[in-house]
Structure 1
C-alpha cells in the first residue's frame, strides 16, 4: 500500500511539473510589456485563448510619468484611437485579436499601440524557455516593423 501511495504522489508531482512546463510553450498568460525605445516597463497584459484565437487586454499601466498623467489624466484614455476604442480607458482595452498558432509562431492577427492609436499586423514567438515573448508589430512585411520583448509574469 505504501508503494502505491508513493507511486501516486510521484505521478502527481510529475504531472504537475509537466503541466507547468507546457504552460510556458504558449503565449497565454500575463506579461510585462517593455518599451523598445525606453527599456521601461509599460504595462501588464493578459493574453487569453478564445477557441484557438489569442487575444490580449491591458490589465494595468505601469510607470506613468507625471507628464503622462497631466496630459492624459489619472485614467489614461486612448485619445488617438479610432472607432469604438476612441477616448476609452486603456486599462481593460483589448489590444490584440485574431492571432492563431502557425508552427512555432502565432500570427495572422492585429495589435494596437494605444499610444499612437495605430493598428499593426502581429507575430508572436516564444523565447528563453517561454519566459519571454517576442512581439513583432509590422505593416506589410514582418521585416519592416518593430519588436518588443515581453516578460512572463506569475
Structure 2
C-alpha cells in the first residue's frame, strides 16, 4: 500500500506537467494546421507554422490535399515564389504577436491567385482552431483552420 501511494505521489507532478505542456501548445499558433476551404468546408492543405529567428511566425504548406493537378507551382505569383512548387512554399510571413493569442503585421499568400494579403491570426476555441484573415484595404476574408 505504501509503495502504491509513493508511486502515485511521484507520478502526480509528471501528469500535471504533461497537462501544462498541452495547454501551452494551445496558446501558440506554432504547429500543424489543417487549412479548411470556407466554401467547400473541406481540408485543402496542411500548413506548418513555426517561429523564425527574429521571433515572428512563418508558415509553409507541407502537404496539398487533393490538388487540382500533380505537383502544382505558383505560376501566378509575382514575387520570389513565382514558378516554385506550392508544396513546401512559405505562405505566411512575418506575423508578430499582437496581444494574447493574436498575431498581425504579416502577410499571407493565396497560391492559386498569386496574391499576397495583409494578414492577422487569432487562436479560437481554446487554441484548437486558428482564425486566419487576409485583407486588401478594408476588404477581408477569413478561414478557420483546425489544429492537428
Q: TM-score, with normalisation over the residues of structure 1? A: 0.87
Cα RMSD over matched residues?
1.5
Aligned partner (choices 106, 117, 121) of residue 120 of structure 1: 117
Query: Over residues 28-79 of structure 1, what are the superposed CA-to-partner deviations in whole Å (9 max), with x where a residue is unaligned?
Result: 1100101122222110000001242100000000122xxx22xxxx111001
**Matches of 1:92 and 1:79 in 2, distance apart?**
15
**Matches of 2:10 and 2:118 in 1, distance apart?**
47
**Matches of 2:93 and 2:14 in 1, distance apart?**
35
**Pair 1:39-2:41 in alignment:** yes
Aligned to 1:147: 142
**Matches of 2:18 and 2:63 in 1, distance apart?**
29
**Pair 1:55-2:58 in alignment:** yes
How many equivalent pairs are there? 144
Q: TM-score, with normalisation over the residues of structure 2? A: 0.91
Hey, which bits of structure 1, 4+ residues long, moved more than 6 A? none
> Which blocks of at least 5 consecutive residues in structure 2 are unaligned?
none
Q: How does 1:41-120 map to 2 (within 5 A)?
A: 41-51=43-53, 52-64=55-67, 68-69=68-69, 74-104=70-100, 105-120=102-117
Give the structure with the higher percent helix: 1
Query: Over residues 72-115 of structure 1, what are the superposed CA-to-partner deviations in whole Å (9 max), with x where a residue is unaligned?
Result: xx111001001321111000000011101111211110110001
> Which blocks of at least 5 consecutive residues in structure 1 are unaligned?
none
**Pair 1:134-2:131 in alignment:** yes
SS at match of 1:84: coil
